[in-house]
Structure 1
């Protein structure tokens, strides 16, 4: 049974139709692959910056961050604090590099440096990362809309996915960027509206939110001791730096946008605009999570329905009401954090405003999914299909493959989202998967750009060792108790840090070793005398 009123449904329907209309409008301009993938370098820097900001501000942020703050604290905010340093590296080094190559794909350079295997490996890592990202975002939006509409999560993913596929296929990167500009504004306004409504309903207002948050240590950024086995301040800071370096420097989603700018200066400015917008915006979502925690501490009876539902999902269908109630009493806030904001929207936000906020959440999902689909289709066409199956595609064939790739990635992303149904925290799942897939890609890229002496054999050996380390760190926790000493002792967020450094440092060491072997030995005194 739908919890949405006619006004809310009308607002949501109008928003979805508007997005499709944008795709139809820009479809007239997409007459060649360059326009479809890079908008022929005609997008102003401020629009690209808003577009990158909207991509960062996905439904993982809109739903996962408040859920994380509700269930734990502000430890995950340290991720945002790492962005300026990564942005500086990207603006100073990566943007000029990509603009100078002229290649639309971020991974063509790796083939020039190390061979076709390196390009293919990076592409596979990128595509897996995109499936994880798109799937987690589909899951997040379905989680919210299920609470509001009563429809199954599978049906919600299918309906929203079709709308996103249609406007992305029709509009290309230009439609993606300009809709993301609008979506960035909508989702920021929606977050501010949610916070206002929470504080408005909160007895004692904001001071009481702060008092309850301090009482329960909700504003902690994590421990500052050098402990890498837990999610401390330093673990999240390192994770955030490496992931953001991967985003700004290697991820096709962002690299493709650098080519849509009129100049390298405009592209660099877009990165900084994204950072200065995202920092306060992400803080806003942590405040929302803490405010929701305080609100339900004051009104614990209002969250009881959510706890009972989560407890029932964990128990067999034959569980009695008493067993469900007992299990609900034992739940921690982290067990149901992702479901709190949708519950608040259902029960406390007035008609009309729900439609606006759902539109904001939809925009958060659509912006990231559409850009991921467009970038994935571009990479698949340029780096896989044209490279291995059919070189020298004509314009019509390239456009057909771009459209087909967009559709396929969208459908696979929906399937990934369906597979995620039942996970505890969408933000945790996304962080773990992105760290695993991005580690090898970033390490190989840094090795290729920084060490000009590293050759194919050193890079391949380093990548194999790095992948083995990543696999061990990921799966060693499942080893039986008798092999517990072989388990990864570090926190899972350290996978991208260790994996990236392993590939990079092993590559440097092998290069140095090869160089040492190649240097001829110093002539001895006897040999010198024989020459004379």
Structure 2
């Protein structure tokens, strides 16, 4: 099962096209001469390319390899993750995107300085960099390993080729190149998955045969209502835990927020979030159907073959069923690598952005635009090379799907928590935010690393290989290692029991830790005065949820945060005020910036309040 010349041509065309898009945007338009163009595409993007880029950024090879493998081994229970997409995307559209867009940010972590101060901003930035560097290694290594296993092409040759091509077009073309290559790569992903499903279903017999075989072997899962948080998957962990995971991805992650901020208008940014919802459901459905087709096929056509890790099974299956169709294996491999390229390029660009905006510019305010742009490109190049080094460590992380989601739960959960502190609890202060973030990270790594160590101790070298044997039930040996590991975690007791917490709860558990600790510490160290809070950095959820209360009670639920005039036709109304906060002016804007029209809320220290009269839209 080797590539034909046609397969190599199709695969090479993808790499050439991606590089050509980067070269085009490097030589056209503004030629990436400003940081606004390089990092935010001059805020000129429409909602459709932004939506596809949002989709591609975190689905990628993780979904293409991981979801079918998950369904093959455990059945369709993972499909219920789609329930979390509703709130997981509606909340960012209604709450996070409007706040970020109206503040005219470049880095998401600028928000943390506006709300809490420079220390919290730096802590958030460093945490994000750590998260994305590890994640890049998973995304780069997993498809390269699978590709090497079934084609025999050098593993590190594939890793190096992907990393260099991705680094090239990201460094040359900036965010515009990243978004438009994401669009092309997303379409290639859909085409590759559809080709596999159609041909695989035909070889099994029909979609009805696929369903019947899956039913016979209990692969069509019902709803598991078990509330035990240590159960790997249930409707609660997938539905509720999944909401927090989606919020950490689509609500506050720099790679996604940067795409919202590149939109022409706030409305386009919100529409892009809405458009992701059906696309997410489609990608999840395609992955689940691919897993069922793969399972049904190997029940009817068992073939002896050694597969070292479960995520190699998908590409092995593809090479098996498409070997009589020259070009289609190349299309699927292009699909697989499209996903990896889109994710990695997004990571390079977002890492360059936060490093420039949060760690360099504040210390070198006189940096010229041309030097800042050149430095941003160098940073993208540096992170590209670092990604190649991280790929080596990813071989220790097991299943690509669980590894990827665990990373976002372990590190993304605490980041989500600190943003929730800022958005929804106006009385929390910077000390509470820092201590809460540290507590969330400590809790996250204790559970995550403990789980990894226990899982490694429970596995013996003899059980680390997954075999597709020449026998009727191919799932027996696939499950051996996982069952051994599960038995080990069930024997844990006391605090170590938390090591077996479902990875789908990581984000919810860790963000909740940050919020609870942050609130307690803020109250103990002196809560922040509402009049000192920039009202554009908070979303007062309690007055909205309890809209039926009398006005005087709803006013108390504002915690003293002043009213502002929300003029949606002028999104820059408070830009001066925000700049004042970034320069350390926590006392408020000048009188020219904010109009004081409500004497009852004047500040006792004589400073200027943020209160302006409510106006109708």
TM value normalised by structure 2: 0.75
Structure 2 counterpart of 1:436: 410
From 486, 502, 505, give the equivalent of 1:491.
Answer: 502
Structure 2 counterpart of 1:348: 321
From 51, 59, 79, give the equivalent of 1:77.
Answer: 79
Any idea what SS the aligned residue of 2:305 has?
A: helix
Matches within 5 A, 1:13-28: 13-28=12-27
Structure 1 counterpart of 2:515: 504
Instruction: Work out whether residues 86 and 241 of structure 1, in 8 Å CA contact, stay in contact via their aligned partners in 2.
Output: yes
Structure 1 counterpart of 2:195: 193
From 346, 360, 366, give the equivalent of 1:392.
Answer: 366
Instruction: Work out whether residues 32 and 395 of structure 1, in 8 Å CA contact, stay in contact via their aligned partners in 2.
Output: yes
Matches within 5 A, 1:85-234: 85-202=87-204, 204-220=205-221, 223-231=224-232, 232-234=234-236
Alignment pair present for 1:379 and 2:354: yes
Structure 2 counterpart of 1:38: 40
C-alpha distance 444-156 of structure 1, shift in aligned 2 (>3 A): same
Separation in 1, partners of 2:37, 2:385: 24
Which sits farther off after the overlay, 147-156 or 377-386? 147-156
Any idea what SS the aligned residue of 1:421 has?
A: helix
Separation in 1, partners of 2:337, 2:389: 18
From 246, 269, 287, give the equivalent of 1:285.
Answer: 287
Separation in 1, partners of 2:271, 2:316: 39
TM value normalised by structure 1: 0.87
Per-residue CA deviation, residues 430-457 of structure 1 (Å, 9 max, x unaligned), is 1112211112111111101111111122
From 442, 449, 471, give the equivalent of 1:468.
Answer: 442
From 46, 49, 52, give the equivalent of 1:50.
Answer: 52
Alignment pair present for 1:406 and 2:417: no
Instruction: Work out whether residues 426 and 528 of structure 2, in 8 Å CA contact, stay in contact via their aligned partners in 1.
Output: no
Once the 2 structures are TM-superposed, how far is the Cα of residue 508 of structure 1 from its aligned partner? 2.4
Separation in 2, partners of 1:514, 1:122: 21
Once the 2 structures are TM-superposed, how far is the Cα of residue 221 of structure 1 from its aligned partner? 5.8
C-alpha distance 228-84 of structure 1, shift in aligned 2 (>3 A): same
In structure 2, list runs of 5 or more residues that go unmatched.
458-487, 530-617
Per-residue CA deviation, residues 322-376 of structure 1 (Å, 9 max, x unaligned), is xxxxxxxxxxxxxx43122211222221211112222111211111111111111
Once the 2 structures are TM-superposed, how far is the Cα of residue 111 of structure 1 from its aligned partner? 1.7
From 309, 316, 332, give the equivalent of 1:357.
Answer: 332
Per-residue CA deviation, residues 305-325 of structure 1 (Å, 9 max, x unaligned), is 13xx53xxxxxxxxxxxxxxx
Per-residue CA deviation, residues 223-282 of structure 1 (Å, 9 max, x unaligned), is 212111112221122332112111122111111111211111110000111111110221
Once the 2 structures are TM-superposed, how far is the Cα of residue 510 of structure 1 from its aligned partner? 3.6
Separation in 2, partners of 1:299, 1:7: 26
C-alpha distance 140-468 of structure 1, shift in aligned 2 (>3 A): closer
C-alpha distance 517-276 of structure 1, shift in aligned 2 (>3 A): closer
Separation in 2, partners of 1:364, 1:233: 28
Structure 2 counterpart of 1:239: 241
Instruction: Work out whether residues 125 and 440 of structure 1, in 8 Å CA contact, stay in contact via their aligned partners in 2.
Output: no
Instruction: Work out whether residues 107 and 119 of structure 1, in 8 Å CA contact, stay in contact via their aligned partners in 2.
Output: yes
Once the 2 structures are TM-superposed, how far is the Cα of residue 73 of structure 1 from its aligned partner? 1.6
Any idea what SS the aligned residue of 2:361 has?
A: helix
Any idea what SS the aligned residue of 2:447 has?
A: helix
C-alpha distance 210-402 of structure 1, shift in aligned 2 (>3 A): same
Any idea what SS the aligned residue of 2:229 has?
A: coil
In structure 1, list runs of 5 or more residues that go unmatched.
311-335, 519-532
Any idea what SS the aligned residue of 2:192 has?
A: helix
The number of residues matched between the two structures is 486
Once the 2 structures are TM-superposed, how far is the Cα of residue 112 of structure 1 from its aligned partner? 2.5
Quote the RMSD (CA, aligned, Å).
Answer: 2.2
Separation in 1, partners of 2:527, 2:148: 62
Instruction: Work out whether residues 82 and 241 of structure 1, in 8 Å CA contact, stay in contact via their aligned partners in 2.
Output: yes
Separation in 2, partners of 1:11, 1:461: 51
Alignment pair present for 1:305 and 2:305: yes
From 347, 351, 368, give the equivalent of 2:343.
Answer: 368
Once the 2 structures are TM-superposed, how far is the Cα of residue 414 of structure 1 from its aligned partner? 2.1
Greater share of helix? 1
Once the 2 structures are TM-superposed, how far is the Cα of residue 483 of structure 1 from its aligned partner? 9.2
Any idea what SS the aligned residue of 1:371 has?
A: helix
Per-residue CA deviation, residues 162-219 of structure 1 (Å, 9 max, x unaligned), is 11110111111001111111211111111111101101111x3211211111122222
Per-residue CA deviation, residues 479-526 of structure 1 (Å, 9 max, x unaligned), is 8999952214332332221110111122223444556999xxxxxxxx
Structure 2 counterpart of 1:317: none
Any idea what SS the aligned residue of 2:227 has?
A: coil
Separation in 2, partners of 1:85, 1:99: 20
Structure 2 counterpart of 1:527: none
Structure 1 counterpart of 2:391: 417
